[in-house]
Chain A
Protein backbone atom coordinates (compact mmCIF):
# COMPACT_ATOMS: atom_id res chain seq x y z
CA UNK A 1 0.00 0.00 0.00
CA UNK A 2 1.11 3.55 -0.63
CA UNK A 3 1.20 6.38 1.86
CA UNK A 4 2.37 9.98 1.97
CA UNK A 5 3.77 11.92 4.89
CA UNK A 6 4.05 15.68 5.09
CA UNK A 7 5.78 16.32 8.38
CA UNK A 8 5.28 20.07 8.48
CA UNK A 9 1.72 21.23 8.99
CA UNK A 10 2.75 24.86 8.64
CA UNK A 11 5.83 26.59 7.27
CA UNK A 12 6.18 30.31 7.96
CA UNK A 13 8.66 32.15 5.77
CA UNK A 14 9.47 35.74 4.89
CA UNK A 15 8.88 37.07 1.42
CA UNK A 16 11.77 36.52 -1.02
CA UNK A 17 13.27 33.80 1.19
CA UNK A 18 13.73 30.25 -0.09
CA UNK A 19 11.43 27.49 1.06
CA UNK A 20 11.31 23.72 1.11
CA UNK A 21 8.17 21.72 1.81
CA UNK A 22 8.90 18.14 2.73
CA UNK A 23 7.17 15.05 1.45
CA UNK A 24 8.04 11.41 2.06
CA UNK A 25 6.24 8.47 0.60
CA UNK A 26 6.15 4.73 0.98
CA UNK A 27 5.37 2.32 -1.78
CA UNK A 28 6.28 -1.18 -2.82
CA UNK A 29 5.90 -0.38 -6.50
CA UNK A 30 6.90 2.36 -8.88
CA UNK A 31 5.08 5.55 -8.15
CA UNK A 32 3.94 8.71 -9.72
CA UNK A 33 4.25 11.74 -7.46
CA UNK A 34 2.43 15.04 -7.50
CA UNK A 35 2.33 18.38 -5.77
CA UNK A 36 -0.91 20.32 -5.73
CA UNK A 37 -1.65 23.80 -4.39
CA UNK A 38 -4.96 24.89 -2.91
CA UNK A 39 -5.86 28.53 -2.43
CA UNK A 40 -8.61 29.36 0.09
CA UNK A 41 -12.03 28.05 -0.91
CA UNK A 42 -10.76 26.70 -4.19
CA UNK A 43 -10.05 23.31 -5.70
CA UNK A 44 -6.59 21.92 -6.24
CA UNK A 45 -4.22 23.07 -8.94
CA UNK A 46 -1.37 20.90 -10.17
CA UNK A 47 2.05 22.40 -9.48
CA UNK A 48 4.19 19.62 -10.87
CA UNK A 49 4.44 15.88 -11.27
CA UNK A 50 7.01 13.14 -11.52
CA UNK A 51 6.17 10.21 -13.75
CA UNK A 52 9.61 9.07 -14.91
CA UNK A 53 12.86 10.41 -16.32
CA UNK A 54 14.75 13.32 -14.78
CA UNK A 55 14.47 13.38 -11.03
CA UNK A 56 14.36 17.18 -10.94
CA UNK A 57 10.95 18.35 -11.96
CA UNK A 58 10.08 21.94 -12.68
CA UNK A 59 6.55 23.20 -12.25
CA UNK A 60 4.53 26.35 -12.44
CA UNK A 61 5.08 29.53 -10.44
CA UNK A 62 8.80 28.85 -10.06
CA UNK A 63 8.42 25.68 -8.00
CA UNK A 64 10.51 22.58 -8.47
CA UNK A 65 10.77 19.21 -6.76
CA UNK A 66 13.34 16.46 -6.67
CA UNK A 67 12.47 12.79 -6.64
CA UNK A 68 14.86 10.87 -4.40
CA UNK A 69 14.21 7.17 -4.59
CA UNK A 70 16.74 6.15 -1.94
CA UNK A 71 15.25 8.54 0.58
CA UNK A 72 11.69 8.05 -0.69
CA UNK A 73 11.24 11.79 -0.78
CA UNK A 74 9.75 14.34 -3.13
CA UNK A 75 10.45 17.70 -1.52
CA UNK A 76 9.10 20.90 -3.05
CA UNK A 77 11.32 23.97 -3.31
CA UNK A 78 11.18 27.56 -4.42
CA UNK A 79 14.21 29.85 -4.29
CA UNK A 80 12.25 33.03 -3.55
CA UNK A 81 8.65 33.09 -2.37
CA UNK A 82 6.03 35.77 -2.82
CA UNK A 83 3.07 36.74 -0.69
CA UNK A 84 0.84 35.21 -3.35
CA UNK A 85 2.37 31.79 -2.69
CA UNK A 86 0.51 31.63 0.61
CA UNK A 87 -1.65 28.53 0.27
CA UNK A 88 -2.02 24.91 1.29
CA UNK A 89 0.27 22.49 -0.51
CA UNK A 90 -0.51 18.81 -0.88
CA UNK A 91 1.83 16.04 -1.89
CA UNK A 92 0.20 13.00 -3.47
CA UNK A 93 1.17 9.59 -4.75
CA UNK A 94 -0.83 7.62 -7.27
CA UNK A 95 -2.02 4.27 -6.07
CA UNK A 96 -3.36 1.48 -8.20
CA UNK A 97 -6.66 3.18 -8.70
CA UNK A 98 -6.61 6.48 -6.83
CA UNK A 99 -4.55 9.37 -5.55
CA UNK A 100 -3.36 9.28 -1.97
CA UNK A 101 -2.82 12.67 -0.38
CA UNK A 102 -0.63 13.86 2.42
CA UNK A 103 -2.12 15.94 5.19
CA UNK A 104 -0.99 19.19 3.61
CA UNK A 105 1.40 21.99 4.52
CA UNK A 106 0.30 25.56 4.94
CA UNK A 107 2.90 27.89 3.45
CA UNK A 108 2.50 31.22 5.20
CA UNK A 109 4.53 33.95 3.52
CA UNK A 110 5.05 37.04 5.63
CA UNK A 111 6.13 40.47 4.39
Chain B
Protein backbone atom coordinates (compact mmCIF):
# COMPACT_ATOMS: atom_id res chain seq x y z
CA UNK B 1 0.00 0.00 0.00
CA UNK B 2 0.85 3.63 -0.27
CA UNK B 3 3.22 5.00 2.32
CA UNK B 4 3.56 8.49 3.68
CA UNK B 5 6.46 9.36 5.94
CA UNK B 6 7.05 12.25 8.30
CA UNK B 7 10.24 13.57 9.76
CA UNK B 8 10.99 14.06 12.54
CA UNK B 9 8.72 11.80 14.55
CA UNK B 10 9.19 14.00 17.58
CA UNK B 11 10.89 17.29 18.33
CA UNK B 12 11.46 19.41 21.39
CA UNK B 13 12.36 23.04 20.94
CA UNK B 14 12.67 26.26 22.88
CA UNK B 15 10.05 28.95 22.70
CA UNK B 16 10.75 31.39 19.89
CA UNK B 17 12.51 28.97 17.58
CA UNK B 18 11.19 27.60 14.29
CA UNK B 19 10.61 23.95 13.53
CA UNK B 20 10.28 22.30 10.14
CA UNK B 21 8.32 19.08 9.62
CA UNK B 22 8.60 17.11 6.40
CA UNK B 23 5.94 14.97 4.81
CA UNK B 24 6.85 12.64 1.95
CA UNK B 25 4.82 10.33 -0.23
CA UNK B 26 7.18 7.42 -0.78
CA UNK B 27 5.65 5.47 -3.65
CA UNK B 28 3.24 7.83 -5.33
CA UNK B 29 3.05 11.42 -6.40
CA UNK B 30 0.80 13.80 -4.53
CA UNK B 31 -0.14 17.15 -5.98
CA UNK B 32 -2.11 17.77 -2.81
CA UNK B 33 -1.22 17.05 0.79
CA UNK B 34 -3.08 17.90 3.95
CA UNK B 35 -1.78 19.03 7.32
CA UNK B 36 -3.69 18.26 10.49
CA UNK B 37 -3.25 19.14 14.10
CA UNK B 38 -4.42 16.88 16.88
CA UNK B 39 -4.68 17.78 20.53
CA UNK B 40 -4.65 15.01 23.17
CA UNK B 41 -7.79 12.90 23.09
CA UNK B 42 -9.30 14.98 20.32
CA UNK B 43 -9.99 14.59 16.65
CA UNK B 44 -7.88 15.79 13.77
CA UNK B 45 -8.32 19.40 12.78
CA UNK B 46 -7.43 20.29 9.25
CA UNK B 47 -4.99 23.18 9.21
CA UNK B 48 -4.25 23.60 5.54
CA UNK B 49 -4.16 22.03 2.12
CA UNK B 50 -0.76 21.99 0.51
CA UNK B 51 -0.75 22.35 -3.26
CA UNK B 52 2.27 21.54 -5.39
CA UNK B 53 3.41 24.56 -7.32
CA UNK B 54 1.01 27.01 -5.72
CA UNK B 55 0.11 28.56 -2.41
CA UNK B 56 -1.38 26.52 0.38
CA UNK B 57 -5.01 26.92 1.33
CA UNK B 58 -5.48 27.57 5.03
CA UNK B 59 -8.52 26.76 7.10
CA UNK B 60 -10.28 29.54 8.91
CA UNK B 61 -8.48 30.57 12.06
CA UNK B 62 -5.09 29.15 11.07
CA UNK B 63 -2.34 31.76 10.88
CA UNK B 64 -0.62 31.40 7.54
CA UNK B 65 2.37 33.44 8.69
CA UNK B 66 2.89 31.17 11.66
CA UNK B 67 2.41 27.85 9.90
CA UNK B 68 4.35 28.11 6.66
CA UNK B 69 3.67 25.40 4.11
CA UNK B 70 5.81 24.67 1.09
CA UNK B 71 4.97 21.96 -1.41
CA UNK B 72 8.31 21.81 -3.16
CA UNK B 73 7.76 18.71 -5.26
CA UNK B 74 5.22 16.04 -6.06
CA UNK B 75 6.47 13.95 -3.14
CA UNK B 76 7.37 16.51 -0.49
CA UNK B 77 5.49 19.05 1.58
CA UNK B 78 6.93 20.88 4.58
CA UNK B 79 5.26 22.60 7.51
CA UNK B 80 7.31 25.18 9.37
CA UNK B 81 6.08 26.36 12.73
CA UNK B 82 7.64 29.79 13.09
CA UNK B 83 8.43 31.38 16.44
CA UNK B 84 6.95 28.43 18.23
CA UNK B 85 5.29 28.86 21.62
CA UNK B 86 4.13 26.31 24.18
CA UNK B 87 0.57 26.53 22.88
CA UNK B 88 1.83 25.20 19.54
CA UNK B 89 2.75 21.93 21.21
CA UNK B 90 0.67 19.29 19.52
CA UNK B 91 0.66 16.23 17.29
CA UNK B 92 0.95 17.20 13.64
CA UNK B 93 -0.14 14.72 10.99
CA UNK B 94 0.04 14.95 7.23
CA UNK B 95 -1.84 12.98 4.64
CA UNK B 96 -1.87 12.55 0.92
CA UNK B 97 -4.61 11.20 -1.32
CA UNK B 98 -3.59 8.65 -3.90
CA UNK B 99 -5.65 9.46 -6.92
CA UNK B 100 -8.51 11.89 -6.57
CA UNK B 101 -9.34 13.89 -3.48
CA UNK B 102 -12.28 11.63 -2.83
CA UNK B 103 -10.07 8.60 -2.82
CA UNK B 104 -8.28 7.12 0.12
CA UNK B 105 -5.96 9.38 2.03
CA UNK B 106 -2.79 7.91 3.41
CA UNK B 107 -1.56 9.34 6.66
CA UNK B 108 1.91 9.90 7.95
CA UNK B 109 2.86 8.59 11.39
CA UNK B 110 2.71 12.07 12.88
CA UNK B 111 5.18 14.44 14.53
CA UNK B 112 4.99 15.23 18.22
CA UNK B 113 6.06 18.84 18.80
CA UNK B 114 6.82 20.01 22.31
CA UNK B 115 7.72 23.65 22.82
CA UNK B 116 9.33 24.48 26.13
Contacts and interface: CB of A to CB of B under 8 A. Distances in A.
Q: Give the interface SS of chain B, mostly helix, strand, loop or mixed.
A: strand
A34 interface: yes
B89 to A, nearest CB: 14
Interface in A39-85: 41-46, 49, 51
A43 B102 contact: no
A98 B34 contact: yes
A45 B110 CA distance: 12
B101 A90 contact: no
Nearest to A97: B101
- By size class, the interface of chain A is 20 to 34
A104 B41 CA distance: 9
Nearest to A10: B41
Given A94-B102, A98-B49, A98-B101, A43 B109 contact: yes
A104 B36 CA distance: 15
Interface of B: 4, 6, 34, 41-44, 46, 49, 91, 93, 95, 101-102, 104-110, 112
